[in-house]
Amino acid sequence: MSADFLYGIEVVINGLMAGVLYALVALGFVLIFKASGIFNYAQGVMALFAALTLTGIMSGQVPFSHLINAIFGTEIHHFGWHVPALLAIILTLLVMIVFAWAVQRFVFKHLVGQEPIILFMATIGLAYFLEGVGDLMWGSDIKKLDVGLPQGGSIWVEDATAFLGGDDFYGFFIDKLDMVATVVAAILVIGLVAFAQYTKQGRAMRAVADDHQAALSVGISLNFIWVLVWSLAGLVALVAGIMWGAKSGVQFSLSLIALKALPVLMLGGFTSIPGAIVGGLIIGVGEKLFEYTIGAPYLGGATENWFAYVLALIFLVFRPQGLFGERIIERV
Amino acid sequence: MKDIADSYVTEDGRTIGKVLMDMKNITLRFGGVEAIKDISFDIREGEIRAIIGPNGAGKSSMLNVISGFYNPQVGEVWFRGEKRPPMKPYQVARQGIARTFQNIALFEGMSVLDNVMTGRLRQMQTGMFAQALWWGKAQREETENREAVEKIIDFLEIQAIRKTPVGRLPYGLKKRVELARALAAEPELLLLDEPMAGMNVEEKEDMSRYILDVNDEFGTTVALIEHDMGVVMDLSDRVVVMDYGRKIGDGTPDEVRGNQDVIDAYLGVQHD
């Protein structure tokens, strides 16, 4: 096989893995949108907040330390302990659940029955609020997130695939972190689908998404379901935060990956979990492949920044509901 | 109207028991509008109780008070001999009061089977993790509930559309699916808000038969709102008549039919 072709395959594989991470963020959007009809602009910031909280807890940082020091004139920054990764993840999850409850209790409980655009704007407000809270709690410097995930290229994959090419081919270069992310995302997705399809809470969640009145009449508590949904979105945000944080450090730009989820959603459809996954993969592979075949040689590179949006735009023209989205037909 | 002490047997041999739901001096206001004015009536175990009246009489409001969608400003709701505190609709549902809606409220994106299964939420106890993993007890529970649901689906003759998304069904079938979901909860009290609105004669006959069968076979107490007087008089044991938020009649169909106030409300009265 020619070296170019092999390199192309490597690009596709890496594209798929990047796509998994996009899908992970998109999944958070789909979950909330399906269950409550809210397009949650804050999903990216939630991932950032989760990652910040995780690093903060792990390194024993005192939350709100700047604020405390400024008010009381103290000089505390660290508790002086280090929390093991697994425990810190569980604690962070608890924080996200408390956050979910607070969002429901203080924001969306008061907006029941409002127009979607108003709910959307509330999530924009939420995004900026959460960003500020994250800064205030944990400081705004860039942090390294190390929960013990493997880093660097996988030697094993290189060795195992080296035979495919000639003497100058050393095998595929695949980041170990991407491989872990793929496995984790797969487990998460299977878990979520099983939850939505086979549990009574999952069924109740779908019911709430469909009709509030009817849900109430069969004994479903809307409040409980919404807290549940926001908690799940918090869980997905945490996982996405860990993966992206481990890849590129915990910093503000983490919240911008949420914007990458938009073209993924346009492609996959806002209401479909499989759509989020397939959409993520298409965008991931598409932008890498486009950069490799056309972008870098002819367009001067850096096409990855905009390719996804153009692809989504073209898609919108031909299939506005996305690949798997529900087509809304109203009977007249 | 004759005074009924404890329980009695109807002409067609059904036993009507003691008072299941007692509405005492209910007044419901929306701002300055009084939708219900000081109404009292009761619903007895095993009976079919109708609420009738012209448009805007407050019938649906009454049903919404019973099912917890509205809480009255004045008055008491007694259920199973206990005074009920103000409740949310989902809490009322969990007490065993199921309902259908005038404008059908179904989960359009879900299949008929899933819709009816949501009616079983009250009966399902195992935790969500066990269910997601399909663990022993959860599996048994799901199977039991599926059996109960299949029985109801059989009963209402909707087997053929079990897997169809509800959004694709015609109106008459949707009404039936909604009834199935309400029945799946095995309610003590079943509230039907205009179960036959918009149906043709044949569909109405079917629906009447189902309501009678539900009452007869499962012993479910039924309270219903209906416009079609013929249907109401045939189906119900006792009728409450409302007009402009007031109760103007209460009794057996025959008693109500002869009530001058009721005749006036329905046919209009000469003003001189």
In DSSP notation, A275-328 reads HHHHHHHHHHHHHHHHIIIIIHHHS-S-THHHHHHHHHHHHHHH-TT-SSPPP-
pLDDT band at A299 (very low <50, low <70, confident <90, very high): confident
Tell me if A189 is assigned to some domain: yes
Structure ipTM: 0.79
CA-nearest of A295, A234, A242 to A15 is A295
Q: Is the pLDDT of residue B2 over 50?
A: no
A206 → closest Cβ in B91, B110, B185? B110
What pLDDT, on the 0 to 100 scale, is given for residue B1?
42
Tell me if A219 is assigned to some domain: yes
Q: Looking at chain B from residue 58 to 117, which residues have their Cβ under 8 Å from any Cβ of chain A?
A: 67, 69, 88-91, 93-94, 98-99, 101, 105-110, 114, 117
Per CB-CB distance under 8 Å, the chain A contacts of B93 are: 216-219
- A203/B94 touch (CB, cutoff 8 Å), yes or no: no
Q: Which CATH number goes with the domain that contains A22?
A: 1.10.3470
What pLDDT, on the 0 to 100 scale, is given for residue A122?
93
B121 → closest Cβ in A191, A195, A220? A220
Q: Token pair for residue A269? A: 């459809």
CA-nearest of B68, B3, B71, B56 to B225 is B56
Taking the mean position of all CA atoms in its chain, how far away is CA A182?
13
- B109/A210 touch (CB, cutoff 8 Å), yes or no: yes
Tell me if A327 is assigned to some domain: no
- B33-44 β-sheet, strand order: B33-44, B19-30, B74-79, B82-83
Taking the mean position of all CA atoms in its chain, how far away is CA A156?
28
Query: Does B209 contact A at CB distance below 8 Å?
Result: no
Tell me if A328 is assigned to some domain: no
Q: Tens digit of pLDDT for each residue in B161-193?
A: 989 999 889 888 999 999 999 999 999 999 999
Q: Domain segments of chain B: what residues?
A: 1-96+187-272, 106-185
Q: Measure Cα distances from A21 to A10, A17, B17 in Å.
A: 17, 7, 63
Q: Is the pLDDT of residue B242 over 60?
A: yes
What pLDDT, on the 0 to 100 scale, is given for residue B192?
95
B107 → closest Cβ in A210, A222, A326? A210
Q: Looking at chain B from residue 243 to 272, which residues have their Cβ under 8 Å from any Cβ of chain A?
A: none
- A200/B121 touch (CB, cutoff 8 Å), yes or no: yes
d(CA B96, CA A158): 63
Burial class (CB in 10 A: 0-12, 13-18, 19+), A110: exposed
- B90/A213 touch (CB, cutoff 8 Å), yes or no: no
Q: Which domain holds residue A202?
A: 3-318
pLDDT band at A24 (very low <50, low <70, confident <90, very high): confident
Q: Tens digit of pLDDT for each residue in B10-24?
A: 777 788 888 999 999
Per CB-CB distance under 8 Å, the chain A contacts of B88 are: 216, 221
Q: Are strands B74-79 and B19-30 parallel, antiparallel or unpaired?
A: antiparallel
Q: Is the pLDDT of residue B128 over 70?
A: no
Q: Tens digit of pLDDT for each residue in A149-195?
A: 887 777 777 777 777 777 777 777 888 888 888 888 888 888 888 88
pLDDT band at A53 (very low <50, low <70, confident <90, very high): very high
Alpha helix segments (H runs only) across chain B:
59-66, 89-94, 112-118, 128-132, 136-155, 171-184, 201-217, 229-235, 253-257, 260-267
Q: Are B137 and B145 in contact (CB under 8 A)?
A: no
Tell me if A41 is assigned to some domain: yes
Average pLDDT of span B209-215 = 93
What pLDDT, on the 0 to 100 scale, is given for residue A234?
92
CA-nearest residue to A34 within chain B is B109
Tell me if A228 is assigned to some domain: yes
Tell me if A325 is assigned to some domain: no
- Structural domain count, chain A: 1
Average pLDDT of span B208-232 = 90
Residues of A with CB under 8 A from a CB of B: 191, 194-195, 198-204, 206-207, 209-211, 213-222, 326
What pLDDT, on the 0 to 100 scale, is given for residue A157?
78
Q: Which amino acid is at A274?
A: P
- Compute, in degrees rounded to 10, the torsion defined by CA atoms A292, A295, A300, A305: -100
Tell me if A199 is assigned to some domain: yes
Q: Domain B1-96+187-272: give its CATH superfamily.
A: P-loop containing nucleotide triphosphate hydrolases (3.40.50.300)
Q: Which amino acid is at A172?
A: F
- B109/A220 touch (CB, cutoff 8 Å), yes or no: no
Q: Which amino acid is at A100?
A: A
Q: Are strands B19-30 and B33-44 parallel, antiparallel or unpaired?
A: antiparallel
